[in-house]
Amino acid sequence: MKITIRPQRVSDAKRFYEILNEPGFKYFGAPPPKSVAAEREYLKKRAEHVRTRHSKSYSILAEGHLVGGCGLKFDQHRSHLVELGYFVEKRHWGQGIATRVVKLLETEIRAKHPEVKRLEIRMDPRNKASTRVAIKNGYRREGLLRGAFQRCGKLVDNLVYAKLL
């Protein structure tokens, strides 16, 4: 299966809404969008972050069909550090897509951001699939950050995997 990434578009809102609101799907980053219009507004705001170089957001395509999203979040105080994130549509779980996406993101970093020396993947400690993705890509578990992320008004833990370039 051919996996590619491309910059996210506001026109991706409907597919993202469908993916993020699928029953049983849990997205670590935020609660699912309440409507296609809300997702459209979110994507417009993400575009501003891309313009200011705080992050880069991509759509994941499998054989040309949008199946998820991924991105890079640049640390504003430590230019050598980037956090990678991704999500994949539920029906495509277990097909190695996220593993390949991490490789594509790493290629992007190496080619366009030589100052980056440390990559991090943060995840819900219960997400065994993301743990496998990190390990398959050569990341090492560094620890558990208790209460490091806020989701729906609650502090939740982060598991941190990292890799030095």
In this prediction the pTM is 0.90
Give the span between the Cα atoms of 23 and 152, in whole angstroms: 18
Mind listing the pLDDT tens digit for each residue in 80-91? Answer: 999 999 999 999
Total count of domains within the chain: 1
Structural domain including 78 reads 3-164
Task: Provide the angle, in degrees to the nearest 10, between the axes of the packed helices 36-51 and 13-20.
Answer: 110
Per-residue confidence (pLDDT) for residue 29, from 0 to 100: 63
Query: Mean pLDDT for the chain?
Result: 92
**Strand residues in the chain grouped as ranges (E):** 3-7, 55-62, 65-74, 81-88, 118-123, 140-151, 154-164
- CATH number reported for the structural domain that contains residue 26 in this entry: 3.40.630.30
Mind listing the pLDDT tens digit for each residue in 40-82? Answer: 998 988 877 677 778 899 999 999 999 999 999 999 899 899 9
Per-residue confidence (pLDDT) for residue 156, from 0 to 100: 87
